[in-house]
Structure 1
Amino acid sequence: VFLAVPSWSRFFLFCLIRSRMECSSDESSELSDTDIDDYAEKAYTDLKSGKLVARFGADRFRCPFCPGKKKQDYRYNELLQHAIGVGASNRAAKVKANHQALASHLKTDHADAAGSLPPRQAVALINPPKPVQDQELFVWPWMGILANVPVEQTQRGGAIVMQQLAGYKPIRFNAVHSPDGEYTGFAIVRFNKDWIGFKDALGFHNTYKSHHLGKTDWEASKSDKYMFAWLAKEEDYKADDPVGKFLSENGDLKTVAELQQEMSRKTDTLITSLTSQISAKSKYLMELECKCNQMDLALQRAMEDNDSLDQRYNEEMRKMQSTAREHSLKIFHETDQLRKQLDEKENDIKRRSKQLSEIVAQTDMERRKLENERKKNDGQNDSLNMARIEQEKANEGVRSLVEKHKKEKEAALNKILLLEKQLDEKHQLELDIQQLRGKLEVVKHMEGEGVDVKKRTEELNKDLQDRIDAMEDLEELNQALIIKERMTNDELQDAKKELISGLVDLLGPRSNIGIRRMGQVDEKPFIEACKPKYGAEADTKALEFCSMWQDNLRDANWHPFKIVTRGEKSEQIIDKGDEKLVGLKEELGEEVYKAVTTALVEMNEYNASGSYVVSELWNNKESRKASMGEVVEHILKQWKAKRKR
């Protein structure tokens, strides 16, 4: 139907559709067209009363309805163009009403800022656009010319100008430059190539013309304070300036009738092409119908053949079913016989399985018993082996200890025998010396009895001197041995001290050899004695008591010992009647008393003069003092065990 309408009518139909689309866009806004004037009056009242401020100085303005824009500082003509452009655009109804009110406010209340504007440009007059002549030449694609565009508005592709002209839907912005590259102050905006783009271009042209900012106004005033705009036509296209050069390079001159004829030709060509395609499709469709009829005949024949095949198939199936039925009956009969035989076999298997289960159960019980017996015997054997190994270790330790004691005893006996021998020799020499001295006295008294007293005296004096020299030599040897023994004992004590200091971190309370602090009071009995009396404070009280009695042991004025003679020997023992010890026993019990008396005995034995604690190598296993040999043997065993690990 659309293609049947004449070309000029099609143009107005496009315009009608465009206007209906704009109406539908306006109707979708929050205000209706009838309410725009009322809303504009309200906004104008707010501006005039000062509730909304648009002017901040002599020539400084801002748009109070566009707070989000980057540019907030306008000149009068810039803000007026902005208000007029947005007020005439297809924006929302409220936005249009606000900007119409702003334009009225600027023209009415701030006309003094217009300066040298001619009156017909200062006051906006809305004149309807003249109808377009059919023979009038336009630049196609449709282009609009802008004059006096500030250079800062041409940056970023003329984003500011494109935003101001958004209601006319321009698609591109180009600033016009002279051949030497200088900006001429003119810019070109392009619109869509269709009739809707032509309508937008006409609206753009008529709006600026209605506000006396068109081409004739620009030619009349040549003012650079306002931006002028118009639709590019023949005279602009043929002008010998940068704008004309740009238009001639990027467009052509065409009338509306020529465009309509060109579109009609394209439409006729399209119709011709579609008609030929429809004819070809119709021919192809007829060929398909012939093929379809042929296929229907072939299908009918195939169906007849299929029916005959089905009939033969059904007869064969009936025969096969009869044969299968007879075969099935035979199989059922044989299956019944096999099932009976299978049941008999199954019963026989169950009976034998039951017997086997009983035998297996008995075998499992016997196997478990044997396993338990074996584990029990293995455990006993392991225990016996461990006991045998421990016994062997104990025997080896006893043998080594006995051997060591034997060697130590032999060394001590040899030393004692040597000392006794030396003592006997000394006594014999002293006896000989006394005898010789007695003989010498006897010889002196035998002078008148025919004895050669002088000769005998010389012999006796010589023999006596030899014995005295031998005794002195023996005395010197004895002194040397005593000094050497003392030096050896001192070295042994020094080595013992070094050994104790080096073994403090190596020997623990669970090892056979340890270090015992002789004369130190044990804390454990104090803690056990204080728990029933002091409860939660038992540990603190126990430490106080233990520290107090340790100080008592260091007191040189307190010596709770008495001397007891047993046979030919005298020894010191604890005086059980001492007042402090009796009070301690009554207050804290027998175990604390034993701990204090044990520390007293140890301190009296090891350091009676100094009254301080002495570290001693101790045999923890036998609760006695450990010899150096035992300590060395224990260290060697530990060292060998570490090397094996």
Structure 2
Amino acid sequence: MEKNQQKQEFLAETSEMKNTKNNDDCSVQQQQRFVWPWVGLVANIPTEVEPSGRRVGKSGSTLRDEFTMKGFNPTRVQPIWDFKGHSGFALVEFAKDFEGFESAMNFERSFNLDRHGKRDWEKGHRLRDNKLYGWVAREDDYNRSDTVGKNVKKKRDLKSISQIVEEDERKMVHLVENMSQTIEKKKQSKQELEQKVDETSRFLESLELHNVLLNKNYQEGIQKMQMKMEELYQQVLDGHEKSLAELEAKREKLDERARLIEQRAIINEEEMEKSRLEREMVIMLSLQIRRKRSQGNKIFVVVVVVESKGYV
């Protein structure tokens, strides 16, 4: 709504320009081309020469603040520089919409009412004072071959008011078509979503019934499983008790056997000691017998020798 209102004001502005001139001038005004996006030119900015020889002047931010306070709402002010420094000109950029056009035209009207518009600037140096001059850039500014013209051309082109209106209308039609398509897609998506919601609701209802039955079967299964686990646990306990009883019986048998072995070991030790003593006695007797036999042999040898020598 706000954009349409701005557009109507824009068209009213063009109608007002038509009504202030004759028919020939109106035709020229309709075909007049502006620099797009909207941009104004400010001339006669005070400059001074630094000791280095470079010319300097007001900054863009300072000029922007001054024009903003006057209600022109520029988005940016960019001083134009050449090889000498500040050229005394600046570009005044406005928003790229009908509100920006209105601000640009107010900017131009303000300078025209103060007799410091473009025509006043073009009257020549002798008729100028020290104030700023300003206007909205058009085709002749765009086609300038100097530094100002080169800066005006950067990222800009020329469009008539009717072209801008037609382009805006085409954009609006395209926007409406896109919005219509988007709305239609949204409606279709809504219907599909509602259908999915219905299907999901029915599915959830059937799922709830299924869950009830499933829960019942689950509980019955759990009870059966618990009973089987209890039976299995009892079987395991019984098996453990039986195994413990068998192990206890085996342990008692082993204890009894160990006692018998210990008793036998004691008896065996006594018998072994007795046998050892007997063996020692036999060995001693054997040694004695051997010694006696050896002594007997020696006596026999001596007797034989004596007899052989005739000592007897």
TM-score range, shorter chain: 0.5 to 0.7
Partner in structure 2 of residue 191 of structure 1: 94
2:23 pairs with 1:11:
no
The corresponding residue for 2:77 is: 173
Deviations 1:133-155 (A, max 9, x none): 44321111211111211125964
- The structure whose RCO (Cα within 8 Å, separation 6+) is larger is 2
Pick one of 159, 163, 178 that aligns with 1:273.
178
CA distance in 2 between partners of 1:280 and 1:147 (Å) = 53
Deviations 1:441-496 (A, max 9, x none): xxxxxxxxxxxxxxxxxxxxxxxxxxxxxxxxxxxxxxxxxxxxxxxxxxxxxxxx
Q: CA RMSD in A?
A: 3.4
The 5-angstrom pairing of residues 451-466 of structure 1 reads none
SS at match of 1:149: coil
Alignment partner, residue 218 of structure 1: 121
Deviation of the 1:217 alpha carbon: 1.2
1:575-586 aligned within 5 A: none
User: Residue 60 of structure 2 corresponds to which residue in structure 1?
Assistant: 158
The within-5 A match list for 1:280-295 is 280-295=185-200
Q: What is the TM-score normalised by the length of structure 2?
A: 0.53
Structure showing greater radius of gyration is: 1
1:135 and 2:31 correspond: yes
Answer yes or no: is the 8 Å Cα contact 2:56–2:85 preserved in 1: no
Q: Structure 1, residues 43-75: CA drift from partner, whole Å, max 9, x if none?
A: xxxxxxxxxxxxxxxxxxxxxxxxxxxxxxxxx
Distance 1:156 1:304, change over 3 A: same
Judged with a 3 Å threshold, the aligned counterparts in structure 2 of structure 1 residues 246 and 12 are, in CA distance, closer, same or farther, namely same
Cα gap change, 1:224 to 1:245, in 2 (>3 Å): farther
Q: Paired residue for 1:109?
A: none
SS for the counterpart of 1:209 is helix
Residue type at the aligned position of 2:119: T
Match of 1:566 in 2: none
Q: Which amino acid aligns with 1:149?
A: I
**SS of 1:145 mapped into structure 2:** strand
Q: Distance in 2 between matches of 1:308 and 1:186?
A: 87
| Shift in Å, 1:248 | 1.6
In structure 1, C-alpha distance between the alignment counterparts of 2:8 and 2:181, rounded to whole Å: 30
**8 Å CA contact 1:154, 1:175 repeated in 2:** no
Paired letter, 2:78:
N
Change (3 A) 1:15 1:259: closer
Distance 2:61 2:174 in 1: 40
Gaps of 5+ in 2: 13-18, 49-54, 221-312
- SS of 2:95's equivalent in the other structure is coil
Deviation of residue 190 (structure 1)? 1.3
Identity %: 30
2:149 corresponds to which letter in structure 1? G
Structure 1 length-normalised TM: 0.27
In 1, Cα distance between the equivalents of 2:74 and 2:139?
21
Q: Distance in 2 between matches of 1:210 and 1:269?
A: 40
The answer to whether 1:261 aligns with 2:166 is: yes
Q: 1:242 to 1:224 in 2, by over 3 A?
A: farther
How far 1:233 sits from its partner (Å)? 0.9
TM superposition shift of 1:170: 1.6
Q: What is the CA-CA distance between 1:295 and the residue it aligns to? A: 2.2
Give the whole-Å Cα distance in 2 for the aligned partners of 1:212 and 1:233. Answer: 19
Q: Could you say what secondary structure the match of 2:89 adopts? A: strand
What are the within-5 Å matches in structure 2 for residues 51-450 of structure 1?
A: 133-151=29-47, 155=57, 157-166=59-68, 167=70, 168-178=72-82, 180-222=83-125, 223-305=128-210
Closer, same or farther: CA 236–296 of 1 in aligned 2, 3 Å: same
Correspondence for 1:395: none
Shift of residue 256, structure 1, vs aligned partner: 1.9
User: What is the count of residue pairs matched by the alignment?
Assistant: 196
The Cα shift of 1:199 comes to 0.9
Structure 1 residues 170 and 255: CA distance shift in structure 2, 3 A: same
Change (3 A) 1:289 1:234: same
Q: CA deviation at 1:208?
A: 0.7
Aligned equivalents of 1:169, 1:130: Cα separation in 2: 26
Flag the 1:294–1:253 CA change in 2: closer, same or farther, 3 A.
same
